[in-house]
Structure 1
Amino acid sequence: MAPFTPPAADAMRAKLLLAARDEFAAVGIGGARIERIAAASASNKAQIFHYFGSKEGLFDALFAQTVAETFDQVPLDPEDLAEYAGRLHDHFVERPWIPRLATWHRLERAGTTPLEAVVESQRAVVAEVERAQRAGVVPRSFRAPVLLGLVVHLAAFWSAGSPEFETSVPAVTPARRRQIVVDAVAGVVGG
């Protein structure tokens, strides 16, 4: 059977998003240049505006896709939130652009209308935590959205550190960093 070939429009959209990922992760929305994204994707500015409407629309589409892919690739295990955080930590280490995009999103998209696709992705995961709390699998020491936020932020702890912080922990190995995340989340959930 021949491999699936996406329609040309889907392939071009994917190329634009990939080029945008690298550009936005490096310099944010304000520093990103449509010309560089177009060149990196072997496309042109008109295609970007056709598919996404604006540079901000391109960033929003990329961020929403990144969040959805993260939740898909690292499925929540409400029965073991500590190990889920460890796997999420691994995901961020392997894909350093994700914490960078999240930082740019917080810095440059604060005060804008929340992205409905991101809200929906988070809503589904929060619902899983709520079900686990009702079943007695996860403690109710925090409301489900707060608990999920703590887990995600602890998973990203090492990815979000400043260069100055890094100088105080140079001997902490990658394996130890992961274990610190797992232990911290276990402490939060009381495990």
Structure 2
Amino acid sequence: MARMTKAEQSAATKARLLDAAVEEFQEHGLAGGRVDRIAERAGVNKRLIYIYFGDKDGLFDAVIVRDVETMIDVVPITQDDLPGYAVSLYDYLEANPTVGRLLTWRNLERIKASDIEYDAYRRKVDAVAQAQATLAPGSTHAPADVLALILGLVQSWSQASPALRDLAGADDPARAGQRRHSLREAVSRLIT
């Protein structure tokens, strides 16, 4: 078996640190996350966190950027089917609850968004504006407001109180299709 090059070793170590950081940050957030636990989970010296990412904040940002990039690739937005985008994003977040938790922590603990987040949201706002121009010419709703409402609808069940989730049967697989249909319908009405 061939030995890994230094570049391959470095990339593997960074990946292990990112994976360990995902677990730590989704459980404890940025403020509660500890570099000692991250390094231990990754099986490396904590000094490598500072070498590769600068500090804990840099590591947290790298985790968020990686997850946002993945989400953008897996769930692209188009102006042709915003209801379909909403359902796809809902499905992605249901299948990847860690991503939703990390983004919630990010929203709670970080004031400034990354450049990749700004770019992603610009594209999404543009897609909403194009959909409005086609489906609802003369709409008085700002595209950014409509996008915020769509994203709120997408995240409504994952952010709902445990009591509401229980009462509504949110974890019942038989209800998943109904929730997706309701989401598609609500977004359709929102943009027309």
In which range does the TM-score fall when normalised by the shorter chain? 0.7 to 0.9
Counterpart code for 2:183: V
2:135–2:191 contact (8 Å) kept in structure 1: no
Per-residue deviation at 1:95? 0.2
Matched, 1:82 2:115: no
Distance 2:35 2:109 in 1: 17
Of the three residues 154, 175, 179, the one matched with 1:177 is 179
Aligned twin of 1:124? 123
Distance 1:138 1:90 in 2: 27
Aligned twin of 1:144? 143
Aligned twin of 1:54? 55
Distance 1:188 1:133, change over 3 A: closer
Report the secondary structure of 2:158's partner residue.
coil
Per-residue deviation at 1:10? 2.3
1:79–1:137 contact (8 Å) kept in structure 2: no
Per-residue deviation at 1:181? 1.5
Distance 1:18 1:71 in 2: 19
Mapping for residues 1-191 of structure 1, pairs under 5 Å? 7-109=8-110, 112-134=111-133, 136-137=134-135, 140-170=139-169, 173-190=175-192
Counterpart code for 1:142: H
Distance 1:133 1:35 in 2: 49
TM-score, L = length of structure 2 = 0.85
Bigger Cα Rg: 2
Per-residue deviation at 1:168? 2.3
- Uncovered stretches (5+) of structure 2, i.e. residues with no partner: none
User: What CA deviation, in whole Å up to 9, does each residue of 1:61-97 have, x standing for no partner?
Assistant: 2112212211111011211111110010000000001
- Uncovered stretches (5+) of structure 1, i.e. residues with no partner: none
Counterpart code for 2:180: R
Per-residue deviation at 1:130? 3.0
Distance 1:168 1:22 in 2: 29
* Structure 1 vs Structure 2 CA RMSD: 2.1
Per-residue deviation at 1:7? 2.8
2:26–2:98 contact (8 Å) kept in structure 1: yes
Per-residue deviation at 1:101? 0.9
Distance 2:64 2:128 in 1: 23
Q: Which has the higher helix share?
A: 2
TM-score, L = length of structure 1 = 0.85
2:128–2:147 contact (8 Å) kept in structure 1: yes
Report the secondary structure of 2:159's partner residue.
coil
1:79–1:138 contact (8 Å) kept in structure 2: no
Distance 1:153 1:163, change over 3 A: same
Distance 1:22 1:130, change over 3 A: same
Per-residue deviation at 1:180? 1.9
Per-residue deviation at 1:137? 4.4
1:34–1:45 contact (8 Å) kept in structure 2: yes
Report the secondary structure of 2:169's partner residue.
coil
